[in-house]
Amino acid sequence: EAGVAQSPRYKIIEKRQSVAFWCNPISGHATLYWYQQILGQGPKLLIQFQNNGVVDDSQLPKDRFSAERLKGVDSTLKIQPAKLEDSAVYLCASSSTRSTDTQYFGPGTRLTVL
């Protein structure tokens, strides 16, 4: 069974530029999560999708971050414009139908904002 795929693995941009991350969850998984992991901290949930609907985006900085999950499968997370404090690893995870089912994490995208 293929795992959660993310791309790119690394991205370096300058502040005020825009960037997008892509996630392909495990086939058949209805729930998809985006986390932000700043160095030295635990992952922080940014947004949670159930199929293609948003379940929780309370911690997503909506003035600069956006995410979508078209057709309930792949998802993209965008930052526009980026700030220095957005430097982090962005993790995507997926789980099957129930919210408490095991989350499977992708390898993450390491973003550096200069």
Partner 1 sequence: AQSVTQPDIHITVSEGASLELRCNYSYGATPYLFWYVQSPGQGLQLLLKYFSGDTLVQGIKGFEAEFKRSQSSFNLRKPSVHWSDAAEYFCAVATTTSGTYKYIFGTGTRLKVLA
Partners of 105 in beta bridges: 93
CB-wise, 72 or 81, nearer to partner 1? 72
Cβ atoms within 10 Å, residue 69: 21
CB-wise, 17 or 87, nearer to partner 1? 87
CB 6 within 8 A of CB 109: yes
- Window 83-102: residues binding partner 1 (CB under 8 A): 91, 93, 99-100, 102
Q: Are strands 10-13 and 109-113 parallel, antiparallel or unpaired?
A: parallel
Site string for partner 1, 50-69 (x = CB under 8 A): -----xx-------------
Helix (H, G, I), strand (E, B) or coil at 112: strand
In the complex, which residues of this chain contact partner 1 (CB under 8 A)? 4, 33, 40-45, 48, 55-56, 91, 93, 99-100, 102-108
